[in-house]
């Protein structure tokens, strides 16, 4: 009874573009780590992020934060302290990434198990 779902050319192209958008925005070594940190901890200052996302250099963190802010995934707030401090926080839109992250993580977990069962070498934790 089930009809196989078919896709129009337009739908395919739209999806491919959307995937490309997401990849350009979120791929690289740090984006998910930054977003993940903010999801768990809420508001964080630059230094907090620098410590939490370990291994990242200030220059990279700064660059990544700008990109994320331009895409309105997070807000940047400069506080009136003696040496200034800046707080970063996910926007409501940024929080909509949660299901995406969950989906990716759970496929990744099952993929790792899959390779393990096949006795394939798997990158270290």
Partner DNA sequence: CAGGATCCTTTACGATACTG
Partner DNA sequence: CAGTATCGTAAAGGATCCTG
- Binding footprint of its own copies on the chain (CB under 8 A): 7, 12-25, 27, 32-33, 36, 40, 70-72, 93, 96-97, 99-101, 103-112, 114-115, 118, 120, 123, 125
CA distance 94 to 65: 12
Asked whether position 56 contacts DNA by CB under 7 A, the answer is yes
Asked whether position 123 contacts DNA by CB under 7 A, the answer is no
Among DNA, its own copies, none, partner that 83 touches (CB below 5 to 8 angstroms by kind)? DNA
Residue list 87-116, contact with DNA (CB under 7 A): none
Q: Which residues, 6+ apart, have CB-to-CB distance to 84 below 8 Å?
A: 78
Residue list 62-91, contact with DNA (CB under 7 A): 62-63, 65-66, 76, 83-86
Q: How far is the CB of 34 from DNA (least distance, A)?
A: 12
Of 12, 37, 54, residue with least CA distance to 90: 37
Give the 3-state secondary structure of residue 88. strand
Contact call for residues 94 and 71 (beta carbons, < 8 A): no
With 0-12 / 13-18 / 19 or more C-beta atoms within 10 angstroms meaning exposed / middle / buried, residue 85 is middle
Among DNA, its own copies, none, partner that 66 touches (CB below 5 to 8 angstroms by kind)? DNA
């Amino acid at each position: 009874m089930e009809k196989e779902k078919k896709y129009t050319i337009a739908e395919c192209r739209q999806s491919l573009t959307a995937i490309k958008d997401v990849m350009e925005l979120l791929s690289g070594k740090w984006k998910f780590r930054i977003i993940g940190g903010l999801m768990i901890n809420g508001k964080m200052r630059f230094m907090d992020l620098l410590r939490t996302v370990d291994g990242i250099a200030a220059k990279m963190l700064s660059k990544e934060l700008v990109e994320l802010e331009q895409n309105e995934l997070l807000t940047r707030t400069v506080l009136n302290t003696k040496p200034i401090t800046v707080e970063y926080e996910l926007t409501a839109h940024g929080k909509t990434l949660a299901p995406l992250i969950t989906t990716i993580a759970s496929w990744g977990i099952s993929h790792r198990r899959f390779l393990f069962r096949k006795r394939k070498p798997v990158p270290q934790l």
